[in-house]
Amino acid sequence: MHEMEEVFAVKEETRHKLFILAMLCLMVCTRTLRRYDGMRLPDAPDAEDITKIIVEHTDYPGDTRKYVDTLSIDMARALLGTLRYEAVRTPTDGEPVVKLTYVLDDGSEVTVEANDKTVWWKGKTYAIYNTKTGEFVKKCATYFFEDPLDPYQEYREQYSTKE
């Protein structure tokens, strides 16, 4: 019986080592994916919960736009989904260029601000992870302010109000 206990002890020790090895592999894979794909902003609102968006851009001073149509709300939510950050890099200083405010069903507001390299979200500052610097800012400007070839421009202007 004594030999049998030793065999099981070795097998249990081996199981522990395999478990630790599997956990280490999982951690390495997770960190690698986050490093190469970036991390999504936490607690982003669902498009169904958004009733209105307010867009401001420093290249268009005094031109604050409000949208209540589902097309613009879906686009603004999709833009937020493309915004990724890098957890290990320190964000750079600077001022926001674009500001999107999401007005939710319950009347609360969630705001995201960004420039080419930094995003401000829920009181925290993150370094934008993107190989194409300024892509989020350019997309916001193009979609909400200057897209002359947009087939939905008339539709969006009908539901847009300027302050």
Residues 18-46 have pLDDT tens digits of 888 888 888 887 766 555 667 778 888 88
Please tell me whether residues 76 and 124 are part of one structural domain: yes
Please tell me whether residues 23 and 88 are part of one structural domain: no
Please tell me whether residues 153 and 122 are part of one structural domain: yes
Q: Report pLDDT for 28.
A: 81
Please tell me whether residues 13 and 67 are part of one structural domain: no
Q: Is 158 or 114 the better-scoring residue by pLDDT?
A: 114
Mean pLDDT along residues 85-105: 86
Please tell me whether residues 95 and 138 are part of one structural domain: yes
Q: Report pLDDT for 99.
A: 94
Q: How large is the greatest C-alpha to C-alpha distance in the chain, in angstroms? A: 85
Tell me the pTM. Answer: 0.68
Mean pLDDT along residues 98-104: 94
Q: Report pLDDT for 52.
A: 94
Please tell me whether residues 147 and 104 are part of one structural domain: yes
The CATH number assigned to the domain holding 139 equals 2.60.40
Q: Report pLDDT for 128.
A: 85
Please tell me whether residues 18 and 45 are part of one structural domain: no
Please tell me whether residues 26 and 45 are part of one structural domain: no
Q: Report pLDDT for 149.
A: 57
How would you write 91-143 as a 3-class SS string? Answer: CCCCCCCEEEEEEECCCCEEEEEECCCEEEECCEEEEECCCCCCHHHHHHHHH
**Can you tell me the distance from the alpha carbon of 158 to that of 80, in angstroms, rounded to the nearest whole number?**
24
Q: Is 134 or 96 the better-scoring residue by pLDDT?
A: 96
- Give every strand in the sheet of 50-57, ordered side by side: 39-40, 84-86, 124-128, 118-121, 109-114, 98-104, 50-57, 65-67, 160-162
Q: Which domain holds residue 27?
A: 1-37
Q: Report pLDDT for 59.
A: 85
| Tally of structural domains, the chain | 2
Examine the pLDDT at 108 and tell me if it is beyond 90: yes
pLDDT category of residue 5 using cuts at 50, 70 and 90: low
Are 65 and 24 in contact by the 8 Å Cβ rule? The answer is no
Q: Report pLDDT for 37.
A: 66
Please tell me whether residues 138 and 102 are part of one structural domain: yes
Please tell me whether residues 135 and 111 are part of one structural domain: yes
Please tell me whether residues 48 and 29 are part of one structural domain: no
